[in-house]
């Protein structure tokens, strides 16, 4: 038989999502794949119930229903401080995963290079492979997860570098890049004619005093930034697969062509049902941030009391935890499997996210009800007896 794709041959399935399956098999508290166990805002689920019979049930226009794109343009434009035209600047996608895939397929050529920070969200590597582009990694050094500007500039200066894929707030490091860091990235993007594709899905999970800056809103960046985000995290609807791209017309038009043939359109009833969420006022985002600050603090205190050290995240709902005191010769992958099976708490092995050989970290998330977090802490407190 003829060989199958060389692209999939050297990829595995997602470790993050594999850990979720293991957690389900073992009845473990799942702090691996990041998604909430609490409800979306009531206005959104009520609207979903209301439209269950009347619909919409058929395709929306490919770019997204007009009223959905208008609500996206209003909400995202307000946050970014940019006046967005729903027809020219907004594309509704199936999750931010599709948004990034469409952007990479539309804007790069095979053989181009894509700059990524390491640690990086697992999907990016596979997405680079699928588009035949070469990922180039610049380290974010733990525990502070800052980058060396000279190393980043060297990567940008390579004439083959077409784009950087920038996750901010950053999964899994929890970094929220400062305006100064982003201005540096913007300056070298302009200097070396590099595009910036963003993943800003954690834009509303930022802990004081840190603040999220949209790189697209920095001077001269609107023309070279493809802003990808989603509603999954902000409205606790990860299964709805509602993402979007916001960009200038020139860049968005290319992304639209890929999206048109890749997924046709995002689910129509869900586009309609999320609109009341997009219309929520500033107090929703303030309360949402405060809720996550409390959850971060619950998990941090619990982990500290058990004896784990970790980097306190500035944003996102992830923490990178040092597991070296508990590994007893196991790799991080073995450790996370044992932990899931014997202690009943699932984490993601840190090596999933690093280009470099880093084997002493695991990623946990705190997008869970307070009671779920307390249950996880209670189970983890028995780690020394059970493993």
89 binds ligand GLN (CB under 6 A): no
Binding ligand GLN by CB under 6 A: which of 70, 127, 171, 230? 171
| Of 156 and 288, CB closest to ligand GLN | 288
Q: How many whole angstroms separate alpha carbon 382 and alpha carbon 126? A: 36
Restricted to residues 104-123, the positions that interact with ligand GLN (CB under 6 A) are 121
Q: CB of residue 323 vs ligand GLN: minimum separation in angstroms?
A: 18
**Do 194 and 224 touch, CB atoms closer than 8 A?**
yes
Site for ligand GLN contains 250 (CB under 6 A): no
Residue 33 in the binding site for ligand GLN (CB under 6 A): yes
**HSE (side-chain half, CA atoms, 13 Å) at 263:** 25
> Among residues 34 and 139, whose Cβ is nearest to ligand GLN?
34
CB of 103 to ligand GLN, least distance (A): 16
CB of 70 or CB of 351, closer to ligand GLN: 351
CA dihedral of 72, 76, 81, 85, whole degrees rounded to 10: -30
Q: Which is closer to ligand GLN, CB of 156 or CB of 202?
A: 202
239 closest CA partner among 48, 62, 54: 48
Kindly state whether residue 161 participates in binding ligand GLN, applying the rule CB under 6 A. Answer: no
Query: SS3 of 137, please?
Result: strand
For the bound state, the minimum distance from the C-beta of residue 122 to ligand GLN, rounded and expressed in Å, comes to: 7
Residue 180 CB, nearest approach to ligand GLN (Å): 26
Binding map of ligand GLN across residues 265-304, x = CB under 6 A, - = no contact: ----------------------------------------
**Nearest Cα to Cα of residue 65 among 231, 267, 280:** 267
- Helices 179-191 and 149-157: crossing angle in degrees, nearest 10, is 20
CA distance linking residue 253 with residue 106, whole number of Å: 9
Task: Give the nearer residue to ligand GLN in terms of CB position, either 100 or 136.
Answer: 100
In the complex with ligand GLN, the residue whose CB is nearer, 222 or 354, is: 354
User: Cβ of residue 55: shortest distance to ligand GLN, in angstroms?
Assistant: 27
- 88 and 95 Cβ atoms separated by less than 8 Å: no
Rounded to whole angstroms, the Cα distance separating 160 from 133 reads: 10
CB of 200 to ligand GLN, least distance (A): 12
Q: Please answer whether residues 314 and 210 qualify as being in contact, where contact means their C-beta atoms are separated by less than 8 angstroms.
A: yes
Q: How far is the CB of 348 from ligand GLN (least distance, A)?
A: 7
Q: Binding ligand GLN by CB under 6 A: which of 5, 7, 17, 257?
A: 17
Integer distance in angstroms from the first to the last C-alpha of the chain? 46
Choose between 65 and 348: whose C-beta lies nearer to ligand GLN: 348
Query: Considering only residues 16, 91, 115, 215, which one is a binding residue for ligand GLN as defined by CB under 6 A?
Result: 16
Nearby residues of 276 by Cβ (< 8 Å), 6 or more positions away: 41, 43, 44, 46, 47
Q: Based on the shown chain and the rule CB under 6 A, indicate whether residue 37 belongs to the binding site for ligand GLN.
A: no
Taking the least distance from each CB to ligand GLN, the nearer of 30 and 161 is: 30
Residue nearest to ligand GLN (CB): 34
Task: Work out whether 34 is an interface residue with ligand GLN (CB under 6 A).
Answer: yes
Given the complex with ligand GLN, which of 33 and 351 has the nearer CB atom? Answer: 33
Q: Is the dihedral of CA 111, 352, 314, 29 positive or negative?
A: positive
Residue 201 φ then ψ, to 5°: -65, -20
**Shortest approach of ligand GLN to residue 335 CB, angstroms?**
18
Using a 10 angstrom Cβ sphere, with 0-12 exposed, 13-18 middle and 19 or more buried, the burial of residue 375 is: middle
Q: Please, which residues have CB within 8 angstroms of residue 218's CB and are 6 or more apart in sequence? A: 179, 182, 183, 186
Please give the C-alpha separations between residue 347 and each of 50, 165, 253, 261, 350, in angstroms, as whole numbers: 37, 25, 39, 36, 9
- Is there binding between residue 170 and ligand GLN (CB under 6 A)? no
DSSP classification of residue 326: G
Total residues in contact with ligand GLN, by rule CB under 6 A: 6
Nearest distance, CB of residue 171 and ligand GLN, angstroms: 5
93 binds ligand GLN (CB under 6 A): no
Minimum CB distance to ligand GLN smaller for 19 or for 278 = 19
The contact set with ligand GLN (CB under 6 A) reads: 16-17, 33-34, 121, 171
């Amino acid at each position: 038989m003829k060989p199958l794709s060389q692209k999939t041959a050297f990829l595995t399935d997602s470790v993050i999502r594999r850990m979720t399956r293991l957690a389900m098999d073992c009845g473990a508290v799942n702090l691996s794949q990041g998604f909430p166990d609490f409800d979306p805002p009531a206005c959104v689920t009520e609207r979903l119930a209301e439209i269950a019979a009347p619909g919409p049930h058929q395709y929306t226009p490919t770019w997204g229903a007009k009223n959905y794109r208008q609500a996206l343009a209003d909400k995202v434009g307000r946050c970014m401080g940019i006046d967005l035209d729903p027809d020219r600047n907004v594309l509704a996608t199936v999750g931010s995963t599709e948004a990034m895939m469409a952007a990479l397929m539309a804007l790069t050529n095979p053989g181009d290079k894509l700059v990524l920070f390491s640690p990086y969200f697992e999907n990016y590597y596979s997405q680079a492979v699928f588009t035949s582009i070469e990922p180039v990694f610049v380290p974010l050094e733990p525990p502070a997860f800052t980058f060396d500007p000279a190393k980043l500039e060297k990567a940008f200066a390579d004439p083959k570098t077409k784009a950087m894929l920038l996750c901010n707030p950053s999964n899994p490091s929890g970094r929220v890049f400062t305006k100064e860091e982003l201005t540096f990235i913007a300056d070298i993007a302009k200097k070396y004619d590099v595009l910036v594709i963003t993943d800003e899905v954690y834009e509303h999970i930022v802990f004081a005093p840190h603040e999220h800056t949209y790189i697209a809103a920095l001077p001269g960046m609107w023309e070279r930034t493809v802003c990808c985000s989603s509603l999954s995290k902000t409205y606790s609807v990860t299964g709805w697969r509602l993402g979007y791209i916001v960009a200038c017309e020139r860049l968005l038009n290319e992304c639209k062509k890929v999206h048109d043939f890749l997924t046709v359109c995002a689910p129509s009833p869900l586009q309609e049902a999320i609109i009341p969420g997009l219309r929520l006022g500033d107090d929703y985002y303030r309360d949402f941030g405060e809720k996550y600050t409390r959850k971060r603090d619950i998990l941090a205190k619990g982990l500290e009391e058990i004896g784990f050290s970790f980097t306190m995240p500035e944003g996102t709902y992830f923490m990178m935890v040092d597991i070296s005191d508990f590994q007893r010769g196991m790799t991080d992958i073995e450790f996370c499997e044992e932990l899931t099976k014997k202690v009943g708490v699932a984490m993601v092995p840190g090596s999933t996210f690093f280009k470099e050989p880093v084997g002493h970290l695991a990623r946990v998330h705190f997008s869970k009800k307070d009671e779920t977090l307390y249950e996880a802490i209670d189970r983890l407190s028995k780690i020394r007896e059970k493993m």
